[in-house]
Amino acid sequence: MNAVSDRSILRICAAFVAAALPVSAAVSGEAVYQRRCAQCHDAGGERTPPRDALKQLSVARILRVLDFGVMINIAYVLNREEREAVANFLGVQREETAVPPQAYCPDRTVTIGASPSPAWRGWGPDSTNTRYTASGGIAFNQVGKLKLKWAYGFEGDVSAFGAPTVLGRTLFVGSAGGAVQALSADTGCVRWVYQASGPVRSAPVAVPNGNTHVLVFTDLTGWAYGLEAETGRQLWKKKPEPHDSARMTGTAAVQNGVVFIPAASWEETRSSNPEYPCCTFRGSVTALRAKDGTQVWKTYTIREKPQQLQKSEGTIGSWGPSGAGVWGSPTLDAKRGLLYVTTGDNFSSPATDMSDAVLALEIKTGRIVWSKQVTPGDVFSGACTGATCPGPDFDFGSSVLIEKLPNGRDVLLAGQKSGVVFALDPDRKAEIIWQTRVGKGGTNGGVQWGMASDGQKVYAAVSDLVRRAPAGTIIQVGLPPDPAQGGGLTALRIANGEKAWYAAPQPCAAKPLCSPAQPAAVTAIPGAVFSGSVDGHLRAFATEDGRMIWDFDTARDYQTVNGVRAKGGSLDGAGPVIAGGMVFVNSGYARNGGTAGNVLLAFGPEE
Ligand code: HEC
């Protein structure tokens, strides 16, 4: 609730600042910042990188973000001088360097083959999205002996949040700077790099195309790309969702040469700008042919188009319905011919019946076969005051997992930001089989990026990140995270939802800005489950009883194989990926109360 009222106070402050500081002809970068950026970046709201993080970026990088990147629809009102002034005011003067020649592999051939091995495909590691692999090449007794094998730095970035894919001996991963790279999974040397228009968080997926593969991924400015996986050559680039606030975060699902691309949006955050007509985005899934990007079908999670509800544009809730973004990767059920999709909240009234829901779409046509809403009436955005749209902001931000009950029947598992895990019956229109609370829930709470399951148990880590606020504080946004609250990993029995064990969050070390929250996606292998924390630690727990068997603090400086100065920070977003006897994880997350970093780490057992 606090976040809701904080944002309305913020909005009033922002309006005051806008009136007080008109941008004059002699352009001051600070004035542009105060008028156009401070309302979001000073506060460092949940999804927004704080000003301190922006100060570590190069001037050229900030300009690129304003001209072509995630801030394009904030910056369109600024002329050239204003853009340069604000970039110079914020950033550091630093040359943007190309990949140094010594970072490339001696042999730059990418070989994927007909059935690549080792493999971790997309969000997966397969279409059931259980984030479990029995063929990752790491045995339970090796987990405690995992050592850092190599580190790869993302030049000029303050967050490392791309979800990796491993195919054969090549790892494909995107970055906050929009660089998509094909690396040797063994050594981290570079095979090719492709520069996308915006940050790439989704895992690249590879689709066979004759003797080669099409690598499909999306970016945070709404683009989907098809590259030749073997060379990095661009085959096509399309906008599956034309809305200018689209954020393509979720990884595509794949079947028979067709990719299913989920669309979410940052309109919920963007609407904290009082001049923004909130809100007109609708979540969707678009099916594209992988070989050329042509559309097969498109299905919105809100049936009706948004209408103007109030005359004055800038008023809260002036447009609706909106929202129900699809953040997670769709889960494929080939047997039933269905695609399971989870949705987030509504951004403005009226609330709709497929927000905070699990939907089943027919793979062939995109037709919605059934939908199961678990939190009706959840309207929430940066423009809200407690009265107009109270939230509770209980999105489903992660994918459905397909598992089996002891009686052999299929079950769908879904974790919500409310802190509740649901087991749903796919043969009874997602009737609830059981539901169990594993966290407190909230805007930055509950299950954020996803769970893992191994046939017996489902492992749910929770964020529940809270800001440290002295009693009676009204404005909490921008305050440091509370080092004593948040986190925890619960194992539930798939059979009945009973708690098998609970691994309590580890106390934060004496680091500045530390939180024990565990928002990152969880990953499992036989006997062990991995969970990353905002405090920078990657930990492994025994699936038998939850005891901690390995702990590595990623928040430090690294010598990287590509020569980039890199450091680790918070673990959030895409979780570890395990393939070919290696554990890969990105570290650094300059938002949601986390600390900056720009490194991809690869661990393997000690020889
Ligand atoms: C309405 C809120 C809002 C305003 C106003 C705003 N930003 Fe942002 N900014 C964001 C959010 C949210 C993100 C994260 C985007 C994402 O990843 O979806 C972001 C990201 C960025 C990034 C990328 C950081 C990275 O990790 O690479 C830069 C640079 C940036 N903003 C600069 C600016 C500048 C300069 C201004 C003013 C001209 C500005 N922003 C105004 C909300 C805002």
Among the ranges given (15-29, 117-131, 143-157, 427-441), the one the predictor scored with the smallest mean pLDDT: 15-29
Kindly state if the Cβ of 355 falls inside 6 Å of ligand 1. no
Tell me the one-letter amino acid at 219. Answer: D
For 345-413, the DSSP string reads -BSSSSP-TTSSEEEEEETTT--EEEEEESSTT-B--TT--TTT--B------S--EEEE-TTS-EEEE
Query: What average pLDDT does the structure give for the chain?
Result: 91
CA–CA dist 172, 228 (Å, integer) = 12
pLDDT band at 593 (very low <50, low <70, confident <90, very high): confident
Kindly state if the Cβ of 121 falls inside 6 Å of ligand 1. no
For 164-214, the DSSP string reads PEEETTEEEE--TTSEEEEEETTT--EEEEEE-SS---SPPEEEEETTEEE
Q: What is the pLDDT of residue 243?
A: 95
CA 351 from chain centre, in angstroms, equals 24
Kindly state if the Cβ of 158 falls inside 6 Å of ligand 1. yes
Asked if residue 424 has pLDDT above 90, the reply is yes
Kindly state if the Cβ of 270 falls inside 6 Å of ligand 1. yes
Q: Where do we find the tokens 């080792």?
A: 118
Cα 117 to middle of ligand 1, angstroms: 39
Q: What is the pLDDT of residue 513?
A: 80
Query: What does residue 272 show for φ and ψ, rounded to 5 degrees?
Result: -70, -15
Q: What is the pLDDT of residue 163?
A: 98
Q: What is the pLDDT of residue 9?
A: 32
Kindly state if the Cβ of 278 falls inside 6 Å of ligand 1. no
Asked if residue 285 has pLDDT above 50, the reply is yes
How far lies 167's CA from each of 19, 112, 115, 124, 225, in Å? 54, 6, 9, 13, 18
Kindly state if the Cβ of 37 falls inside 6 Å of ligand 1. yes
| Helix axes 29-36 and 80-90, enclosed angle (nearest 10) | 90
Cα 41 to middle of ligand 1, angstroms: 7
Give me the sign of the Cα torsion angle 91, 93, 97, 102.
negative
Q: What is the pLDDT of residue 312?
A: 62
Q: Where do we find the tokens 């979800």?
A: 163
CA–CA dist 342, 227 (Å, integer) = 27
The beta-carbon contacts of 34-41 under 8 Å, at least 24 apart in sequence, are 36/74, 36/75, 36/77, 36/78, 36/82, 36/86, 37/74, 37/86, 37/90, 38/14, 39/10, 39/11, 39/13, 39/14, 39/272, 39/273, 40/269, 40/272, 40/273
Q: Which two tokens stand for residue 596?
A: 């900056």
CA–CA dist 214, 207 (Å, integer) = 5
Angle (CA) 181 182 188, round 5°: 95
Q: What is the mean pLDDT of residues 495-512?
A: 92
Contact residues for 131 (Cβ-Cβ < 8 A; gap 6+): 123, 124, 125, 401, 450, 451, 452, 453, 521, 522, 523, 524, 575
CA–CA dist 115, 121 (Å, integer) = 11
Domain boundaries for CATH 1.10.760 within the chain:
2-90
CA 607 from chain centre, in angstroms, equals 34
CA–CA dist 108, 47 (Å, integer) = 37
Q: What is the mean pLDDT of residues 60-83?
A: 88
Q: How far apart are the first and last CA of the chain?
A: 51
Asked if residue 420 has pLDDT above 70, the reply is yes
Which atom, in ligand 1's list, is nearest to the CA of 83?
38
Among the ranges given (204-218, 243-257, 305-319, 548-562), the one the predictor scored with the smallest mean pLDDT: 305-319
Which residue owns the Cα nearest ligand 1 atom 19?
Answer: 48
pLDDT band at 66 (very low <50, low <70, confident <90, very high): very high
- With H, G, I as helix, E, B as strand and everything else as coil, classify residue 234: strand
Which atom, in ligand 1's list, is nearest to the CA of 32?
38
Q: What is the pLDDT of residue 572?
A: 96
Q: How many residues does the chain have?
A: 607
Fold that domain 109-468+480-605 belongs to in CATH: Methanol Dehydrogenase; Chain A (2.140.10)
CA–CA dist 487, 572 (Å, integer) = 12
Cα 38 to middle of ligand 1, angstroms: 10
pLDDT band at 48 (very low <50, low <70, confident <90, very high): confident
- With H, G, I as helix, E, B as strand and everything else as coil, classify residue 216: strand
Q: What is the mean pLDDT of residues 424-446?
A: 96
Mutate which of 23, 40, 477 for ligand 1? The one with the most ligand atoms within 8 Å of its CB, which is 40
Asked if residue 251 has pLDDT above 70, the reply is yes
If one compares 344 and 514, the residue with the highest pLDDT of the two is: 344
The answer to whether 490 and 505 have CB atoms below 8 angstroms apart is no
For 328-356, the DSSP string reads SPPEEETTTTEEEEE---BSSSSP-TTSS
Q: What is the pLDDT of residue 431?
A: 98
Which range among 56-60, 71-75, 98-102, 544-548 has the greatest average pLDDT? 544-548
Mutate which of 70, 73, 220 for ligand 1? The one with the most ligand atoms within 8 Å of its CB, which is 70
pLDDT band at 57 (very low <50, low <70, confident <90, very high): very high
Which atom, in ligand 1's list, is nearest to the CA of 159?
26
Q: What is the pLDDT of residue 26?
A: 76
CA 501 from chain centre, in angstroms, equals 27
Kindly state if the Cβ of 273 falls inside 6 Å of ligand 1. yes
Q: What is the mean pLDDT of residues 276-290?
A: 95
Among the ranges given (17-26, 231-240, 418-427), the one the predictor scored with the smallest mean pLDDT: 17-26
For 503-543, the DSSP string reads EPPPPP-S-TT------SPPEEETTEEEEE-TTSEEEEEET
**pLDDT tens across 81-129, in order?**
999 999 999 999 987 777 889 999 999 999 999 899 999 999 999 999 9
Which atom, in ligand 1's list, is nearest to the CA of 591?
14
Domain boundaries for CATH 2.140.10.10 within the chain:
109-468+480-605
If one compares 273 and 267, the residue with the highest pLDDT of the two is: 267
Cα 214 to middle of ligand 1, angstroms: 31
The answer to whether 330 and 250 have CB atoms below 8 angstroms apart is yes
Q: What is the mean pLDDT of residues 454-465?
A: 97
Asked if residue 314 has pLDDT above 60, the reply is no
Q: What is the mean pLDDT of residues 528-553?
A: 98
Query: What does residue 8 show for φ and ψ, rounded to 5 degrees?
Result: -70, -35
Q: What is the pLDDT of residue 73?
A: 84
Among the ranges given (7-16, 212-221, 336-345, 507-516), the one the predictor scored with the smallest mean pLDDT: 7-16
pLDDT band at 473 (very low <50, low <70, confident <90, very high): low
Assign domain 2-90 to a CATH class: mainly alpha
Kindly state if the Cβ of 384 falls inside 6 Å of ligand 1. no
Kindly state if the Cβ of 86 falls inside 6 Å of ligand 1. yes
Cα 52 to middle of ligand 1, angstroms: 12
Kindly state if the Cβ of 453 falls inside 6 Å of ligand 1. no
Asked if residue 402 has pLDDT above 90, the reply is yes
Asked if residue 15 has pLDDT above 80, the reply is no
Q: What is the pLDDT of residue 472?
A: 61
Which residue owns the Cα nearest ligand 1 atom 21?
Answer: 71
